[in-house]
Amino acid sequence: MSDTTLISYDPSTGEELWRGQHGDVDAAVSAARRAWPAWAAKPLANRIEMVRRFANEVRAEADGLAELIAREAGKPLWEAKTEVEAVINKVEISITAYAERTGKKKLDSALNGTAALRHKPHGVMAVLGPYNFPAHLPNGHIIPALIAGNVILFKPSEKTPAVGAALVRCFHKAKFPEGVVQLVVGGPNEGKALVAHPGIDGVLFTGSAQAGIAINRKLAANPGKIVALEMGGNNPIVVIDTPLLKDAAALIIQSAFTTAGQRCTAARRLIVLEHLFEPLMKELIPLVRKVIVGDPLGDPQPFMGPVIDNDTADRLGESFLALVTAGGKPLAHLRRNDPDKPFLTPGIIDTTDIEDRPDIELFGPILQVIRVPDFDAAIAEANNTRFGLSASLIGGSPDDYARFWANIRAGIINWNRPTNGASSAAPFGGIGLSGNHRPAAFYAADYCAYPVASTELGQPRASIEIGLEE
């Protein structure tokens, strides 16, 4: 195999799924810079028509794209289908968001002309996508950026290039002009080259905090590039008094183990009042043991497929063991029944007695339980993280939720709902190590165009009334 060839594997079988050549970043940037002026000059209505054509192409390819996502990302087919729907729905949501967030405004005055607010695109945007939502999350950057008049260089995760290639094919089938949407296949080297390239005007990134911080550091001396970072979380789900512990258990499983725990909004820490611990575990542990982990295309459909690859499964197993060694008490063991495949059963561990719990994002099906004496301690523990993406409160009264909402540091705060499953029609982002205050989803329009204020008069008209010699 050439070192310029990238190969993707089906994590559930280990079989080769796709292979392609690493992209030429310089050539791609040059083509994008040539394409940008004409694309930016197109009327907004034309750009909107084009992204709607793209949605129709995805709709026509929906079944095949969902199966490809299931095979390459390892998520169950039912979930892959919801991802494809999100890709399609993103188009109309983004059109609405562009009008609301970056629309034109004019204020006319007969003597002073017109005061106008319009928005301009940045130019050539690099979109660096993740493997957990290999179509939906990069598409959440791409569509708003295209509507605003930017052109796109999309580098999918090196673990899910086949889905990235399929997404770009849909843009090409929709007859986007050459150079407006390009696929750049590659790994970390291609990503670094895109970030550092002088011909790139913006970097739109979804991934780990480590990679996001590296991008931020690289571009710290270059404020001219727009940078939007979405970097995950160490998210708390807090359970206080409620008679509906069976429902609470279901919400916890949805939060912690959907997508095999490979969501940036997944619950990583279950914080529970001490007196509720035993009754909650009596509901949660039997339910988690019923979770089906299996072939993403299997019948019946599993709740969870594999994690993305064997290396990831190895690291998650080592992390669970490290928590046990540090004093954690396993409540549901993280098991790997086949050492050659990355299928993991959900793991739950009581880490209350670990003095220095690591504040890291364990990106997989591991849930830490922390017992606390009261609601104040629960809020303090929920905030005991450098991250701040998502948080949920289960139980309590409206006053409890108001207190929770006011005191929790996060960009997404829910009540009696899972920590994940955020709406594309709302802003999506966090604080701390979770992002750089550029929320995506409905607010993506904000970082895809910049505001331009103008005062305008049809003819020059001015006089100087003071300070001139007679």
pLDDT of residue 461: 86
- For residues 442 and 141, the answer to whether their CB atoms sit within 8 Å is no
Q: Which two tokens stand for residue 54?
A: 């793209």
pLDDT of residue 3: 74
Mean pLDDT (the chain) is 96
Percentage of the chain exceeding pLDDT 70: 99
Q: List, in order, residues 6 or more apart from 353 with CB less than 8 Å away.
A: 327, 328, 329
Report, as an integer, the average pLDDT of 425-443: 96
User: 235-415: which CATH architecture?
Assistant: 3-Layer(aba) Sandwich (3.40)
**Nearest one of 379, 358, 365 to 335, comparing CA atoms:** 365
pLDDT of residue 113: 84
Q: Is the pLDDT of residue 304 over 80?
A: yes
pLDDT of residue 108: 79
Q: Which residues pair with 19 in a beta bridge?
A: 7
| Nearest-angstrom CA–CA distance, 424 and 93 | 7
- pLDDT tens readout for residues 268-300: 999 999 999 999 999 999 999 999 999 999 999
Q: Mark whether 264 is an active-site residue.
A: yes
- For residues 220 and 201, the answer to whether their CB atoms sit within 8 Å is no
Q: Which two tokens stand for residue 87?
A: 């890709």
pLDDT of residue 110: 61
CATH code for 5-231+435-455? 3.40.605.10
Q: Where does residue 454 rank: exposed (0-12), middle (13-18), buried (19+ CB within 10 A)?
A: exposed
pLDDT of residue 386: 98
Q: What are phi and psi of 144, to 5 degrees?
A: -60, -35
Q: Which two tokens stand for residue 162?
A: 């086949």
Q: Is the pLDDT of residue 2 over 60?
A: no
Query: Checking DSSP bridges between strand 16-21 and strand 5-9, what pairing results, if any?
Result: antiparallel
pLDDT of residue 77: 98
Q: Is the pLDDT of residue 385 over 70?
A: yes
**Helix-helix angle 161-173:62-73, to 10 degrees:** 160
- pLDDT tens readout for residues 55-76: 999 999 999 999 999 999 999 9
pLDDT of residue 1: 41
Catalytic residue among 83, 230, 361, 381: 230
pLDDT of residue 391: 98
Report, as an integer, the average pLDDT of 104-120: 84
Catalytic residue among 57, 72, 264, 361: 264
Q: Which two tokens stand for residue 468?
A: 């001139």
Domain extent listing, the chain? 5-231+435-455, 235-415
**Helix-helix angle 44-60:136-148, to 10 degrees:** 160
Report, as an integer, the average pLDDT of 152-164: 98
Q: Where does residue 329 rank: exposed (0-12), middle (13-18), buried (19+ CB within 10 A)?
A: middle
Of 10 and 465, the structure prediction assigns the larger pLDDT to 10
Q: Where does residue 300 rank: exposed (0-12), middle (13-18), buried (19+ CB within 10 A)?
A: exposed
| Nearest-angstrom CA–CA distance, 393 and 252 | 11
Q: Is the pLDDT of residue 109 over 90?
A: no
Query: Taking the model in full, what pTM does it have?
Result: 0.96
pLDDT of residue 236: 98
- pLDDT tens readout for residues 34-63: 999 999 999 999 999 999 999 999 999 999
Report, as an integer, the average pLDDT of 390-408: 98
| Fold match, 5-231+435-455 / 235-415 | no
Amino acid at residue number 227: V
Report, as an integer, the average pLDDT of 111-123: 90
